[in-house]
Amino acid sequence: MQCKQATQLLSLRQERPLNRREKFSLQFHLMLCKGCRNFAAQVDSLRAISRGYAKGQPPSSDESESK
Ligand SMILES: [Zn+2]
């Protein structure tokens, strides 16, 4: 499996449960690939954020203030 497929499965996982084979190959890839592990963590936290988003404010990513 390549990173592209792994990331696709990670996104897909948000919409439906993966079947056994998909899960297995995804886990195998995550074991070997740090990049996709990071991506997996991001997907999870993004999901958590968007769930609690209704009451929250948008993240302040405004860095235009420099002297
Ligand atoms: Zn990867």
Residue 52 confidence (pLDDT)? 77
**Cα(26)–Cα(20) distance, integer angstroms:** 10
Interval between CA 21 and ligand 1 midpoint (Å): 17
Higher pLDDT, residue 67 or 48: 48
Distances 4 to 8, 28, 42, 50 between C-alpha atoms, Å: 6, 14, 15, 23
Interval between CA 39 and ligand 1 midpoint (Å): 9
Q: Are the C-beta atoms of 2 and 36 separated by less than 8 Å?
A: no
| Tens digit of each residue's pLDDT (9 = 90 or more) over 13-50 | 988 999 999 999 999 999 999 999 999 999 888 888 88
**Residues lining ligand 1 (ion), CB within 5 A?**
3, 6, 33, 35-36
pTM, whole model, 2 decimals? 0.67
Interval between CA 34 and ligand 1 midpoint (Å): 7
Higher pLDDT, residue 8 or 47: 8
pLDDT at 56 over 60: no
**Cα(52)–Cα(40) distance, integer angstroms:** 19
**Cα(23)–Cα(12) distance, integer angstroms:** 11
Interval between CA 42 and ligand 1 midpoint (Å): 14
